[in-house]
Amino acid sequence: MKQKKKTILIFLGAAALALGSAPLRADDVTDSVDEAMKAYKDGDYATAAASLDTAAQMIRQKRAESFAKFLPAAPSGWTAEDATTGAAGAAMFGGAVTAERRYSKGEAEVTVKFLTDSPMMSAVMMMMNNPMLLSSSENGKMERIKGQKALVKQDGDDGEISIVVSGVMLVSIEGNGVTAAEMKGFAEGIDYAKLAASL
Domains of the chain, residue spans:
2-65, 71-198
The predicted pLDDT at position 94 comes to 57
Q: What is the DSSP string of 139-151?
A: G-EEEEETTEEEE
- Cβ proximity of 171 and 162 under 8 Å: yes
Residue 154, pLDDT > 60, answer: yes
pTM: 0.76
pLDDT, averaged across the chain: 82
Residue 189, pLDDT > 90, answer: yes
User: pLDDT: is 140 or 192 the higher one?
Assistant: 192
Residue 27, pLDDT > 80, answer: no
3-class SS of residue 63: helix
Torsion sign over Cα 21, 26, 29, 31: negative
CATH number of 71-198: 3.40.1000
> Among 5-14, 44-53, 70-79, 164-173, whose mean pLDDT is lowest?
5-14
User: pLDDT: is 194 or 55 the higher one?
Assistant: 194
The predicted pLDDT at position 54 comes to 86
Percent of the chain whose pLDDT exceeds 90: 51
Residue 7, pLDDT > 60, answer: no
- Which are the contacts of 69, defined by CB distance < 8 A and separation ≥ 6? none
Helix 45-67 to helix 28-41 angle (10° resolution) is: 160
Reported as type and span, the H/E element at residue 47 is: helix 45-67
Q: What is the pLDDT of residues 56-111, one digit of tens each?
A: 888 888 989 999 999 999 999 999 999 999 887 655 555 689 999 999 999 999 99
pLDDT category of residue 131 using cuts at 50, 70 and 90: low
What is the average pLDDT across 150-172?
92
